[in-house]
Structure 1
Amino acid sequence: MNIPANLLYTHEHEWVLIEGNIATVGITDYAQDQLGELVYVEVDTVGETLERNDIFGTVEAVKTTSDLFLPLAGKILEFNSALDEKDGDNPTLVNEDPYGEGWIVKIELADPADHSGLLTAEAYGELIS
């Protein structure tokens, strides 16, 4: 299972890349593997300010739908247009490249210094093993 060391992780299987006050968020390789082929990614919270653990969207696979939980409080700035049915409509990018082209949202962090509750790659590896 691919668990990049430069990212932080949640117990709900999202990953976070923090760059200054902007964070990119997606689901982990483990999560996409467990879900199977994704057929739809929905995020209708762009422009909204949400709290940590609020639901910001959903991913739908052939057999199930899962909520996406915001790992840190902030404002949803952008939804990956390649995943959006209005633009690229290619949700399988999450399966093919979960840590790259398959990112889901970018957020402006309410408190860029607050990483509490997030897991290191090592801790996340222990969680899923």
Structure 2
Amino acid sequence: MGDRSAIAEGKRTDGPPRRHVPRENRERTEVSGLMQCEYATPQEVVVRDISQFGVGATTHGQLPDIGEHVCITLATGDELRGQVRWTDGQAFGLHLESAFDLGRLQHINRLRSRLLADPAETAQRDDNRG
């Protein structure tokens, strides 16, 4: 059996220590999309955060299985293809098959902010430009 103090401190006692791999920087967002799974019908999801090779999302539908390959088509038309790595409640995480351009995400977030802005404010800003 392992050492109780090591277990209390969260250290592994069943083998050599694992190398700590820091997580990639993640960008917070809230973009809706449609997820197509291998074993379920297409369903709506909300992408909550994204990094170059990872996505965190939520759904009110059926969660995909860990290891399942899915494709999320964002409202912007961007496609995110990857494999489910974890699930927790209605949330799940994907490891992307190819790198996502975080500059594209920043553009999406700016566009969303502009669309959600007060229409009078947006009209005034447009009038000042012309």
- Could you say which TM-score interval applies, normalised by the shorter chain? 0.3 to 0.5
Relative contact order higher in (CA < 8 Å, ≥ 6 apart): 1
TM-score under structure 1 length normalisation: 0.34
Give the number of the structure whose residues are more often helix, by fraction.
2
TM-score under structure 2 length normalisation: 0.34
